[in-house]
Structure 1
Amino acid sequence: MDPIRESLLKKSKASKLEMRGKIITYFCIGLIVAIVLAIFYFVASKGLATFFTDKVSIKDFLLGKSWNPGTLDKTGKPEVGALPMIAGSFFVTFLSALIATPFAIGTAIFMVEISPNKGSRILQPVTELLVGIPSVVYGFIGLSVVVPFVRSIFGGTGFGILSGTFVLFVMILPTVTSMTVDTLKSVPRYYREASLALGATRWQTIYKVILRAATPGIMTAVVFGMARAFGEALAVQMVIGNASLMPSSLITPSSTLTSILTMGIGNTVMGSLENNALWSLALILLLMSLFFNMVVRVIGKRGALK
């Protein structure tokens, strides 16, 4: 073959490096997908064993109010009602998000619109510090400060949904705040300039223009915060009381899916009804995480369309 033609057809070093990079990239993507599918299969196979192997009714599991897998009720059915834990998880999640959202939006507005210099110099390090604090530290603070505070102000034992809400509020606040800050910074500058040029005040610009333009991103931040709150285990377990009872008030001991899981998963035998029921709770958590991700994607698509 002609040496010139051979040199032209020969792959260059850059093309070989590019091909090698593609192979590594596709391998990593495939590995991640395989790990995710393996996790889904493992949790689903364990969680569905409660219904297919132990013959527990899905309706009784989701709507039952008594959780004591080791005993049978009067009809001979196992007491594996997960409704108290599901209700407790949703209560602390929505209440903590409801409290954290105004604080996060106000902090983000101050950091981006009111005083960017002081915000980045003071509030940014504080927010990053809150993110880095371990869950067990939040739990100890809640046990030492929040529980006595709730007991002295509202009565009761101090353990309950209200204490869990206060702890989760502090835990999800930096997440919602950071994402809200990024959302406000992504609003085009000409939105502000056009609003001010039309005679709007700074607060009118923030409320009528900037916040409305950033609504999809703020909603995404809130959903991410709710996902963090829904899956939090250790800190909530230390302050909620861990009573497998339907929540009758915000100051009575209650439980969440994660608190029951962390307490019971190490004290059961693999393959037993008690263990399978706990895996069913884990399956509910996994499905809820999927639900939160789907909500984020829907909000993101609607925001992109606007």
Structure 2
Amino acid sequence: MARRMMPKRRLEKVGLGITGACVCVVALVVAALIVMVAQQGLTTFTSDGVDPVSFLTGQNWIPSEGRFGAAPLIVGSFSVTLLSTLIALPIALGSAIFVVEVRPAFGRKVFQPLVELLVGIPSVVYGLIGLTVVNAAMRAIFGDAAGTGAGILSGAIVLAVMILPTVTTLVIDALAAVPDSYRDGSYALGCTRWQTIWHVVLRSAAPSIMTAVILGMTRAFGETLAVQMVIGGVERSMPNGLLDPAATLTTALTSGLSNATTGSVEYHALWSLGLLLMGMSLLFILIIHLIGRRGTKSHG
């Protein structure tokens, strides 16, 4: 009996060693990425003499003239991200309520698979649709005020469609995770279906819904190709409205790195944009963890 137990213990030790090694590899890769981006990005301020405050608050991004004000890019990124989330969230929430509470059989078998198919569509396809359909619609609706149709609003609409499957799927899972006993108790007190959904189901799933929103914002914040095709790519100055062409941190990175000389001030400034982008992504992840802990405590 003891001889049979020995191989099992060895296998357990081998398994623990392999999983531990995988965790160490992932941790090293993440740490190496953070160190590399931070080293290159901070060179802009430590060696190239760019003032961090003017970098974050400057309103002109013109590398050819030595002007590295990232404020227009930051404003463009947050404008597109927040606006796309505001457009996608009501649609995702209504779709999730339909799937879980109204028509669960049809929703699970037909509607949800159709929504999940949108995830597999390449970004360039969304960009092409936005370039030909959304921009044309902006010109038709707003006329000369929309110019070519490219702008923050066009980018937000395209991004809203892109993040809609992710947010919808996560909200569906959040509503489905609410115990049926909560619904039964609400019905027993005489509440209607919509009262139960609004006051019981949505409130119970609120932390998970917030996590879905933050994850959708994280994807929108880092999206590049589709946004670059429809937003206009104007990096030089601060946008004045939703119809104005603009640029985001990601679009400036993709368009600038191909022309920047390695080791130049512009090259390091672009790495600084990458560092800023990574910092915002880490902040979103931290917010997700804080919401998750708060939700766990409230349910506990």
Measure the CA separation in 1 of the matches of 2:245 and 2:288.
Answer: 32
Residue number in structure 2 paired with 1:4 = none
1:81-96 equivalences under 5 Å are 81-96=69-84
Q: 1:203 to 1:39 in 2, by over 3 A?
A: same
Structure 1 unaligned spans of 5+: 1-6, 72-77
Aligned match of 2:105? 117
Q: Which residue of 2 aligns with 1:17?
A: 11
Structure 1 segments of 4 or more deviating over 2 A? 7-11
Q: 2:40 aligns with which of 32, 46, 49?
A: 46
C-alpha RMSD over aligned residues: 1.1
Alignment of 1:288 with 2:280, yes or no, is yes
- The answer (yes or no) to whether the contact 1:64–1:81 under 8 Å persists in 2 is yes
User: Taking structure 2 as the reference length, what is the TM-score of the superposition?
Assistant: 0.96
The match for 2:85 is: 97
- Tell me the distance in 1 between the aligned counterparts of 2:11 and 2:3: 16
Once residues 147 and 275 of structure 1 are traced to their aligned partners in structure 2, the CA distance between those partners, rounded to angstroms, is 32
For 1:167-186, what aligned pairs fall within 5 Å after superposition?
167-186=158-177
Shift of 1:11: 5.9
Task: Render the CA deviation track for 1:262-286: whole Å, top value 9, x for unaligned.
Answer: 1111111111111111100000110
The one-letter amino acid paired with 1:88 is G
The one-letter code of the counterpart of 1:251 is L
The equivalent residue for 1:277 is 269
Which residue identity is paired with 1:48? L
Shift in CA distance, 10/111, structure 1 to aligned 2, threshold 3 Å? closer
In structure 2, the partner of 1:74 is none
Partner deviation per Cα, 1:131-156 (whole Å, 9 max, x = no partner): 11111111111111111111111232
Q: Summarize the alignment of residues 127-138 of structure 1 with structure 2, pairs less than 5 Å apart.
A: 127-138=115-126
Q: Distance in 2 between matches of 1:26 and 1:142?
A: 45
Is the contact made by 1:157 and 1:251 (CA closer than 8 Å) also made in structure 2? no
Alpha-carbon distance in 2 for matches of 1:201, 1:9: 64
8 Å Cα contact 1:68-1:80 kept in structure 2: yes
Among residues 43, 61, 68, which one is paired with 2:62 in the alignment? 68
Residues 1:56 and 2:47 are matched in the alignment: no
Q: Report the secondary structure of 1:247's partner residue.
A: coil
Query: SS of 2:63's equivalent?
Result: strand
| Counterparts of 1:129 and 1:142, CA distance in 2 | 18
| CA distances 1:53-111 after superposition (whole Å, capped 9, x unpaired) | 1010001100001111221xxxxxx3000000000000000001011111111000000
Mark the CA change 1:16 to 1:192 in structure 2 (over 3 Å): closer, same or farther. same
User: 119-128 or 213-222: which moved more?
Assistant: 119-128
Equivalent residue for 1:232, pick from 217, 223, 237:
223
Amino acid at match of 1:160: G
Instruction: Supply the distance in 1 between the matched residues of 2:142 and 2:212 (Cα, whole angstroms).
Output: 31
Identity of aligned residues (%): 53
TM-score, normalised with respect to structure 1: 0.94
